[in-house]
Amino acid sequence: MLFAYIDPGSGFTISSLGTWLITFLFAFLCIFFLFFKKIFGFLKNFKRRVIIILLVIITLYLTITGVIMSKKEPQFDKKVIILGFDGLSPEIIEPMMREGRLPNFSRLKEQGSYRRLTTTNPSQSPVAWAGFATGQNPGKNGIFDFIVRDPRTYKLDLSLSSIEKGKPNRVIKSKCFWQYTSEEKIPSVIITCPVTFPPDKIYGRMLSGIGVPDILGTEGTFTFYTTESLNKNKDIRGKVFQVGKTPVMIMNLIGPKVAALGGKTDNVRIPFKIILQEDKNSVIVEYQKHRFELKTSQWSDWKEVSFKLGLFRKVKGIFKFYLVETEPEFKLYISPINFDPRGPFFQISYPKNYSRLLADNIGLYYTQGMPIDTWAVNEKRLTEKPLLEQANEVLREKKAMLDFELNRFKKGILFCYFESPDIIQHMFWRYTDPEHPLYEENAPREYKEMIQNWYKKMDDTLGSVIKRINKKDTLIILSDHGFNTFRRAVHVNSWLRKNGYLELKNPKAESGGELLMDIDWSKTKAYAIGFGAIYINQEGRERDGIVKPGKETELLKGALSQKLKEWHDEKHNKTVVNKIYKREEIFWGNYAHNTPDLCIGFNIGYRASWQTALGAAPKELIEDNLKKWSGSHLFDPSLMAGIIFSNKKITKESPSIYDITPTILEIIGYDEEKIKDGNFDGTPLF
């Protein structure tokens, strides 16, 4: 999966309320009382007629309600349980099963079925989970990369969520399986499926997953206070501040941006006080009537905060502190501030009070769609220890949600998503790969075995579910893609520049900056964003396009494909690219015209760089990956199969992630013709 990927946006800005609102309310009340004065006069003169009209309305209401209530509920009494274990790889799970180390997966394979699962192209988590939920390729459901661009402006944005004029908009463009089941009045429970913010209105319950922002409107921005001197390198996903070390220090919790009436925007800030303790192993924290002790190398429990946004408006958040050290330097980490599930600013569940219901039953939990803060580790603000503690806490929360729903699950569809195995593989792969530039031969054994130990955790989770189902129930376990090592970062725009397809405004500049800002569009034929996407700077489509559509574009795509396949890494004497895919080969549907013209399928070990994702063109073409984010799945999808298990026999020889939705529909009673009408890119598995 990802996760905490780069964030090209700057979050959302909330309009504040001021004196103009008081004026508006006063005018409204005047009109309101004048209107009702006339209404009361009318009722006084026509009392009898009004009573008759009200009786007719009540009679009609009761009749219509009686007809609706008399409709029979569907005779569906089955249970379908689907668990999404993000990133489980057949290359790891298969030998572990042979060695007898995953008893529950092995049992499920023996009693039912196991297959490798074809993933989406590209093999990115939001793309794959959207394909899972819709049964359709990105050209139909509209999710084809983490990063998308507006060809009219070249502006970049994230595909995971969309907030316009203060309102979140659904990003998946086609129907998901829970909408089909809801139409049939079959209860459905969807727990944190990716790309589900805002939640759909369903016949059941939904808690949104990847795509839910933090309180700043980003995918996760931490805050870090330190007495160390700050280097010139900007933290990608954090706000880092240098402070002077004194017995009492004043810092700030940073809230959302608020736009005042004059158009000026700024973050709301809540001051908090840090009091150093004599034992040098703890501090006292004070803010908003809260006072508590915080010890070094320990997470705090959930803390609450309320930010005032203006007159009558506020937003409530929850977050955690982690005191890294007080000696010799002071270092304090503050997690991204999550929306409080008991009253989130944006609706994150359906029904609206479902997020509160979960909190009341399992305690407070992460609402941010990507809760595990890998970037704080990448940027050396946190170590692996607190990351693992956080990952274990997220897993505990998910299991608690699943248990809560299983305890009252009588019939219908239940899906629960687990992101933790993906995160662990992203951050700990370097301990398993002797050829990785950050490999540590003498690393702790715990870290070398971390990935396999998390596969065991998933096996334990599966085992607890198996105990609670019977032979009539359907159980499906799947991962969206596999995993492998990420050794070398590939700068695609730099390659395009070297080969004459991209020009910078300053031809002598060593590099070009992020967000495509330094590109000379009058001389650029192609550009790259995202994790392997190449777009032709096409006339009539891009704002400053120069390549004519039709024959000229097709010839350019052919030339690019051929040259990219010849790209050779001289340092390791390896080919960088496994295959190049043209748009028409992998995307079709109403939204295919938005998809990349070419998609690069990288060989194992090579991945588009973070700079490429944001449209930059560094000096080098390829460089060692020196981030702790050392495992990936952003390779050629033909090399990145996921896995699927079921307690039913899978009759399809080569199952695809697109097969899950048609399978669910067949289980709930759709016939072959009705499934065909859904325009799916998969077919039922059983």
Whether 228 has a pLDDT exceeding 70, the answer reads yes
Other CB atoms closer than 10 Å to residue 10's CB: what's the count? Answer: 12
Domain end, chosen from 612, 632, 652, is at 632
Q: What is the mean pLDDT of residues 446-455?
A: 98
HSE-CB for 549 with a 13 A CA cutoff? 6
What's the confidence (pLDDT) of residue 337?
Answer: 98
pLDDT in tens, 113-145: 999 999 999 999 999 999 999 999 999 999 999
Structural domain for 493, as ranges? 487-632
What's the confidence (pLDDT) of residue 310?
Answer: 86
C-beta separation of 507 from 483 below 8 A: no
Whether 503 has a pLDDT exceeding 90, the answer reads yes
What's the confidence (pLDDT) of residue 193?
Answer: 98
pLDDT in tens, 13-67: 876 655 344 445 555 555 555 555 555 555 556 666 756 776 667 666 555 555 4
Task: Look at the chain and report how many structural domains it folds into.
Answer: 2
C-beta separation of 480 from 625 below 8 A: no
Percentage above 90 pLDDT, the chain: 86
CA distance 240 to 238: 6
Question: For residue 22, is it within any domain?
Answer: yes
Q: Given the structure tokens 């077919």, which residue do they identify?
A: 683
Give start and end residues of each alpha helix (H) in 71-147: 90-98, 103-111, 125-134, 138-141
What's the confidence (pLDDT) of residue 52?
Answer: 72
Whether 111 has a pLDDT exceeding 70, the answer reads yes
Domain end, chosen from 64, 96, 120, is at 64
At residue 297 the predicted structure's pLDDT band, cuts being 50, 70 and 90, is very high
What's the confidence (pLDDT) of residue 263?
Answer: 77
Of the candidates 133, 83, 79, the residue with the CA atom closest to the CA atom of residue 108:
83
End-to-end Cα distance, the chain? 27
pLDDT in tens, 133-177: 999 999 999 999 999 999 999 999 999 999 998 899 999 999 999
Query: Cα Rg for the chain, rounded, in angstroms?
Result: 27
- DSSP-assigned letter for residue 235: P
Whether 304 has a pLDDT exceeding 70, the answer reads yes
Q: Kindly tell me the sign of the dihedral angle through the C-alpha atoms of 286, 290, 294, 298.
A: negative
Q: What is the mean pLDDT of residues 392-402?
A: 98
Which three-class secondary structure state does DSSP give residue 384?
helix
Strands (E), 261-418: 265-276, 282-287, 290-295, 303-310, 313-319, 321-325, 331-334, 338-339, 349-350, 412-418
CA distance 502 to 524: 4
Poorest-confidence range of 17-26, 258-267, 348-357, 662-671? 17-26
Q: Which amino acid is at 11?
A: G
Domain end, chosen from 64, 79, 99, is at 64
What's the confidence (pLDDT) of residue 75?
Answer: 84
What's the confidence (pLDDT) of residue 70?
Answer: 43
HSE-CB for 75 with a 13 A CA cutoff? 0
pLDDT in tens, 572-617: 999 999 999 999 999 999 999 999 999 999 999 999 999 999 999 9
C-beta separation of 349 from 199 below 8 A: yes
Which three-class secondary structure state does DSSP give residue 630?
coil
Whether 69 has a pLDDT exceeding 50, the answer reads no
Question: For residue 482, is it within any domain?
Answer: no
pLDDT in tens, 187-200: 999 999 999 999 99
Whether 4 has a pLDDT exceeding 50, the answer reads no
Query: What pTM did the predictor assign?
Result: 0.91
Poorest-confidence range of 73-77, 401-405, 454-458? 73-77
> Which residues is 332 bridged to in the sheet?
225, 323
Q: What is the mean pLDDT of residues 558-563?
A: 98
pLDDT in tens, 258-296: 987 777 899 999 999 999 999 889 999 999 999 999 999
Q: Encode 556-583: b = buried (16+ Cβ within 10 Å), e = exposed.
A: bbeebbeebeebebeeeeeebbbbbbbb
What's the confidence (pLDDT) of residue 592?
Answer: 98
β-bridge pairing 188-191 and 412-418: parallel
At residue 232 the predicted structure's pLDDT band, cuts being 50, 70 and 90, is confident
What's the confidence (pLDDT) of residue 47?
Answer: 66
Whether 234 has a pLDDT exceeding 90, the answer reads no
Question: For residue 533, is it within any domain?
Answer: yes
